[in-house]
Chain A
Amino acid sequence: MPRTVRDVVFVDGVRTPFGKAGPKGIYHETRADDLVVKSIRELLRRNPGLDPAKIDEVAIAATTQIGDQGLTLGRTAGVLAGLPQSVPGYSIDRMCAGAMTAVTTTAGSIAFGAYDAVIAGGVEHMGRHPMGEGVDPNPRLVSEKLVDESALFMGMTAENLHDRYPAITKERADKYAVASQEKAAKAYANGKIQQDLVPISVRRTNADAGETGFGLVTADEPMRPGTTLENLAGLKTPFRVHGRVTAGNAAGLNDGATAALLASEEFATENGLPVKMRLVSYAFAGVEPEVMGYGPIPATEKALAKAGLSISDIGLFEINEAFAVQVLAFLEHYGIADDDARVNQYGGAIAYGHPLASSGVRLMTQLARQFEDQPHVRYGLTTMCVGLGMGATVIWENPNFEGDK
């Protein structure tokens, strides 16, 4: 049968404030699935025009799909959020690019005509599910040297990336990190971030962690406004003696969830839903696992090629700051300055945190807000590196674009 590919739009995106993983973190006593449920409910509240029964899919990503991140989270979260039973759901894993993959996979199905509207998101509660929990790597990976031993340790892959780009020094990475904190603080001051945060009630029973009882979280916990180069200079390099990667120029270990509402453009129009971004193209690419931070470069090449665009067409970049070096390698490759104003205008994961599988939608939500403010920009790009040597890139068009001036 003849088919027409349909345009896919990003209707809305929200996230929980991100927390620090661990016993003193704000979400230490909060379930991961609850973070997803509350994000989904906020999306529905913000878009009352959408009849929940018309949602065709709930795709939720998590890297560690056990416990409160298991049990086919997309389905359980839908049930817990009070979606009609007729709405199905499933789980997705592509480690850090989980939510991004939830978006692209469901978007592909929308374009194909299988779905009209979906919820796509991700969660990672790294406090309840530390990286590597329950993994059982096949011994052949190492015995047959399929991957380097450092490939499973993200900090080591970042050090390896520094080796590949000798010009990217620790100082440059630290400088980038300081700027990220500054931009994030400014974005907060301008109210750019809070408008897409879901307030989360949190319980604390351990007095060592702070005031006990129920509280309400309305802001990101990991941010360190006022961070200086001097602060960062003295930090340890835990992944390599005399290394370059520190806790200061990398994202931390975090808890959080995100959720986005996507639809065919036709459906959005018919149902009076806002169109914040229009999907242009997406691509995933594999690289050597031990330099996984390189991944966004080939992924972006592919995505640009599919869209018939060049890097110079991209007016705004949202690059996940798993490590400063990974952003800098990308910028270096494409000949973009470290402090280019188009890049991560609101700061990035170094400031906000990076709850692995949730981060992709955070990038999109922030890009969507930047599109609103900058109608002179036509295209924007969200990209991230992925464990075991991958990159992921999604290119978006600004529906507010007013044409070249």
Chain B
Amino acid sequence: MSNVAELLKGAAALFPDEVVTEAHVRHFDLPLGAGRFALITLDNGFDHTKPNTFGPQSLAKLDAAIDQVEREAAAGEIVGVGVTGKPFIFAVGADLKGVEALKDRDHAVAIGKGGHDVFKRLATLAVPTFAYYNGAAMGGGVEVGLHCRYRTVSAALPAFSLPEVFLGLVPGWGGCTLLPNLIGADKAVSVIIENSLSQNRQLKGKQVFELGIADALFEGADFLEQSLVWTAAVLKGEIVVDRPEIDRGEGWDKAVERGRFIADSKVHGAAPAAYRALQIIDDARNGDLQAGYDAEDEALADLIMGDELRSGLYAFNLVQKRAKRPAGAPDKSLARPVTKVGVVGAGLMASQLALLFLRRLEVPVVLTDIDQARIDKGVGYVHSEIDKLLGKGRINQDKANRLKALVTGVLDKAEGFSDADFVIEAVFEEMGVKQQVFAEVEAVAPAHAILATNTSSLSITEMASKLKNPERVVGFHFFNPVAVLPLLEIVRGERTDDASLATAFAVARKLRKTAVLVKDAPAFVVNRILTRFMGEVQNVIDEGTPVAVAEKAVEPLGLPMSPLVLLELVGPAIGLHVSETLHRAFPDRFTVSANLKRVVEAGKRGFYVYDSGKPELDPEVAALLQQGDAVLTEEQVRERVLGAVAQEIGLMLDEGVVAEAQDIDLCLITGAGWPFHLGGITPYLDREGVAERVNGKRFLAPGVASVPA
């Protein structure tokens, strides 16, 4: 014990700003005459917006509380010990700020060991221990409960997870070892691997019970009371907890295999955390808990001292913090209210935008187009999507009625836009057409109305140049599918004023999008990087490298799909169009592939056919390809492609397209689904030495997304 205390004291010195979670011990008589009970309440003294976490001082507090109840249990003064949280929150795990501060391996080991040494005492008290998951429980919060003999969970619990693998860690305070031994390896793999790698999916209280993690489920209204009544019944032997037998043979093997398959399909071996967790789960089947804890300590220390975790934490902070305070956004008090939205165009993109504005802003949305048939189709699309939401129970009939009544379509822009505060166009991607549309809108819309464009590559400044009030034009670039990808690139034209920009950011927030401020530069951020990236892949193919080799070479980047599958999703014609636009802007770096042109001209929708269930190069496409004879290895392809990406990002930062490299990563994570565990791309380019090689310097200072020096 004193060992633990020493260890934690050392760690605490490194982390003086810890928000300390106290462990209050309170005694009372249980119902049913079951005897005197000690309940430990975890509470950091703040409300639910600042959840309980465990740093070294918090662990020491819990350790001291356990000292007390251990004495009382040994002396026969109490019949049981419980652990619960503060209102709405159980505990959400290790304090990540403390993890970021760790610089050497000894301290990293101490953090792992400190948690284990404190938590595992709950399993060795002279009386039974109970955890009451009353509210949000994650990571170390879940784990402290796993060390108890029994658990109850609130049906009102909104979020329960072991998110460590998502961040680049393993559940290392007992999670990898205890969970499979409690609920079996297959369910443990679902919680530890599958949920983590599915955008950190959370479990609800009922699922926690159904998985067998908790022994009893009670409703939120009197969760703690009923948990304690249940505790009394368990202690009196009136309730016997019966847990199903675990398959420690073939079932266990299959579970680990399934976990590897999930990890491979999500991170392609590019991030170590999932594999480390699976190894510990694999070894946990013999029930040797201490061996498991030791393995967890080692894994934690390795991962904490590795840059993958730091990249994961960096990405986590980007989407949790930077996304909420967009760099360079004007003061939000400048924003004007938006009480009516106009959409120019009624095609698929325009209709999707109309639906999004409608659902999030709940203001009138009016669509216009060049003929009534298109308008009817657009409004019809919105109505059918509303019906789908109704059918799925996501909205009720009243809300459906309200939304349907709010969306209209008219041919006459004057009628539609005369009182609109925000008009967005999603018409054909051609400067002349867009300028014409804005001129027509300006003629009829109020002088304050924002004119937004969903252009993916055209200049905002040029688009605004012929207007009387160019200061109200902003770029509002969404990513497909609009309902899924969070990113919104907000583009400031040369003459865009602060009030218009502030309004755009305010609207983005209501749309629940991650808004990033972008300079008016060709193709903005995501499309420029993706086009350069895919262009370089196309180049090596055109020069002679087999398609399969080129595709495989970039697998370590852990992208959601291969470059050519992405091209298929975007549409080869659009990909070609964007590459042509960028070629005009930067002819020395962006090429227009003759092979791609042929594929588009042949009317092909992609490079692959899926007849066998797996993507295979379409023989018709293969026949169109005219390749050179420069055959590169995977290694060489990677060097070329990553070099190109690093160069492009370096130039974009020099041009001031975004404020910092962090914004590039935020864009790629939220707009292109680039992997969290690599921190987007710049931490990876730094780590692999590509940035240094190509640009002569790192994108991020050491420590920002890597182990501090």
Binding site for B on A (CB under 8 A): 37-38, 41-42, 80-82, 198-201, 203-205, 211-219
Q: In the assembly, what is the distance between CA of A204 and CA of B39, in Å? A: 12
Decide yes or no whether B87 CB sits under 8 A from chain A: yes
Question: What A residues does B30 contact at CB under 8 A?
Answer: 216, 218
Contacts of A41 in B (CB 8 A): 221-222
Q: Which of B28, B30, B37, B219 has the most CB of A within 10 A?
A: B28
Q: Which of B24, B219, B225 contacts A199 (CB 8 A)?
A: B225
**When the two chains form their complex, are residues A216 and B225 in contact, meaning their CB atoms are under 8 A apart?**
yes
A-B contact pairs, 25 of them (CB 8 A): A37-B221, A37-B222, A38-B225, A80-B221, A81-B221, A82-B221, A199-B228, A199-B229, A201-B222, A201-B224, A201-B228, A203-B87, A204-B26, A205-B45, A212-B24, A212-B26, A212-B41, A213-B41, A214-B39, A214-B41, A215-B39, A216-B28, A216-B30, A216-B31, A218-B29
Q: Whole-angstrom distance from the CB of A119 to the nearest CB of chain B?
A: 15
Given A38-B225, A199-B225, A201-B225, A82 and B26 contact (CB-CB distance below 8 Å): no
Residues of A near B9 (CB, < 8 A) are: none
Q: Which among B24, B29, B31, B43 is the interface contact of A211 at CB below 8 angstroms? A: B24
Among the listed A38, A82, A216, which residue makes an inter-chain contact with B228, where contact means beta carbons less than 8 Å apart? A216
For the complex, give the distance between the alpha carbons of A189 and B114 in Å: 47
- Given known A216-B30, A218-B31, contact A211–B25 (CB-CB < 8 A): yes
Question: 1/0 per residue B1-45: CB within 8 Å of A?
Answer: 000000000000000000000101111111100000101110101
Give bound CA distance, A216 to B27, whole Å: 9
How many angstroms between the C-alpha atoms of A205 and B87 in the bound complex?
12
A115 to B87, CA, bound (A): 37
Q: Give the complex CA separation of A246 and B100 in angstroms.
A: 63
Q: How far is the CB of A87 from chain B (nearest CB, A)?
A: 15
Known pairs A41-B222, A203-B87; A213 contacts B228 (CB<8 A): no
Q: Assuming A41-B222, A215-B26, A218-B31, what are 18 further A-B pairs, CB within 8 angstroms?
A: A38-B225, A41-B221, A82-B221, A199-B229, A205-B45, A211-B25, A213-B25, A213-B43, A214-B26, A214-B39, A214-B224, A215-B39, A216-B30, A216-B37, A216-B39, A216-B225, A217-B28, A218-B30
Residues on A with beta carbons closer than 8 Å to the beta carbon of B225: 38, 198-201, 216
CA A199 – CA B233 in complex, angstroms?
A: 14
B256 to chain A, nearest CB (A): 39
- A312–B504 Cα distance when bound, in Å, is 82
Known contacts: A41-B221, A199-B228, A199-B229. The answer to whether A213 contacts B28 by CB under 8 A is no
Please measure, in the bound complex, the distance between the C-alpha atom of A81 and the C-alpha atom of B221, giving whole angstroms: 7
Interface assignment of B161: CB less than 8 Å from any CB of chain A? no
Quick one: closest A residue to B45, CB to CB? A205
A249 to B564 CA separation, bound complex (whole angstroms): 88
Contacts of A205 in B (CB 8 A): 43, 45
A residues within 8 A CB of B24?
Answer: 211-213
Residues of chain A within 8 A (CB-CB) of B37 are 216
Asked whether B84 is an interface residue with its Cβ less than 8 Å from the other chain, the reply is: yes
CB distance from A317 to the nearest CB of B (A): 30
A38 to B218, CA, bound (A): 13
Which residue, B25, B26, B27, B43, has most C-beta atoms of chain A within 10 A? B26
Are the CB atoms of A216 and B224 closer together than 8 Å? yes
Q: Out of B40, B84, B219, which one reaches A82, CB within 8 Å? A: B219
A81 to B87, CA, bound (A): 17
Minimal Cβ-Cβ distance residue in A for B219: A82
CB nearest to A210 among chain B residues: B26
List chain A residues, Cβ under 8 A from B39. Answer: 213-216
CB closest chain-B residue, reference A37: B221
Q: B78-94 vs A: 1/0 string, CB under 8 Å?
A: 00000010010000000
